[in-house]
Structure 1
């Protein structure tokens, strides 16, 4: 049995998983691939820069043209295709190592379950990580899908650029799944040279990717489902896929409608089973009612009374008139927003030096203002005492 056959066997336990898995991984592959695509397009999709030395030599200034600054390096001349693809490959691997850390927990659990199945059947995978092999295959397919690449880039590409991107995808797959000790075989020369020159750096990147894909804790001996540990967004997407599949069946709409009636009619029972506390601080626990698989007809369940809903929150009744006529103490409620009170202002005022010592006052106008403030807030009596 091959790795592909084992993948199919694991996915049979959840037929909708390939579609959901592709939707979840698409943003990851998109950001990783476009990083390399932009680099290749920028350096191979534009003409070579003009020779400035020949241009300056024709100027009538009498100056002798000199060689360009050697510090410019390869920025002053067009890089070869080999150099561009090598740097794009390094950029792609770095982006994959950084982006793979955002993979949802559900995908990590899927890779772990698949790896356990392969280990059980004694099937070897690249670096003992089927997750790494799946990512490498996804990158390979993305760089070979020329139509999708043009849609992501937003413009048409030359055929030479497309061919170089296809070669880049093949090199990325071999670099991620092979080892330095592997024979060349069908491996592109660019990939083999990259692995020999950057062996230690490549090993570090692959180890980080494998750790990110497999870094998930599952209790030993537990039969963890594929969806266990998935975040809310992933679970909602998966449930939406299941609901869509049910709707495609002949009685799918009736089955979903009946499921809604069961949940709506047994709402109190579900709240007790899930440990949801009573709303609005109710002390008395709701009475446990038996589960009713057939809660009643559609008309009874779907009855809606606007007045009753307006005067209730969940299973708690609210008296709207009581709320409107409640004797609110607005001064106390808004105390934090009203600033200083009169008493606080008076206390601060009486401790000012110009209020306690008239020698600080220079003009008669200032003395009149101080006297007015003392009379207004009763500070004359306080100072006399």
Structure 2
């Protein structure tokens, strides 16, 4: 256990800044919600949980050392998350804590201090919020490319996707997202699936059913008739041009600025556009 904790502390500074920022934000939200975490550090609890789960994964594939690895996983978790060193329930962990109490407190303090560093404060606005769209797109594409070209990048992206996909109902419920069509689920989803494996789903496909659905929502004639969205706004979004932008383009057209050379029919069309978009005559 001494080696595990020492290695964890030495590698704590290699954790990506984005993940540490997430830990710090989660800790802030936990305090606001009145949720207590070991050593007031959500990041430490999440890392301890990750270490335990990883050891249990190895234990599941190792028959000879399965029991010992399971005990080692529980011991590791207890040592990293125990706050009452005098009443630790795990015998091995309790002995290790009593023997290395001062040293362990220093290691835990090092981890919690790093996770609470003001450098990892979440900014109010996205760092690329005011940048040019083309630059932002190229920047994100370069990040994606660098991840995919790393040895385990594709595997990591797949695990992130599976985690999000497995908890899509939870996210919709917790974020109070209004469904695009139809009514949402009456009962909120409170359980979070801690799994990065692909979810087993019904592979049967009925084209007659899917034809009337968009995602998990029905899209039949009744839904279309009750569609309450602003079609003009949707059309502008689809075209990528707002009404103000279109009016500006029309006002700079030569036939709009000077229609004296146009035929009578063309002048009628131009006058219609001027009246429609309130352009100066």
Bigger RCO of structures 1 and 2 (CA < 8 A, at least 6 apart): 1
Q: TM-score, normalized by length of structure 1? A: 0.33
Q: TM-score, normalized by length of structure 2? A: 0.44
| Rg (Cα) greater in structure | 1
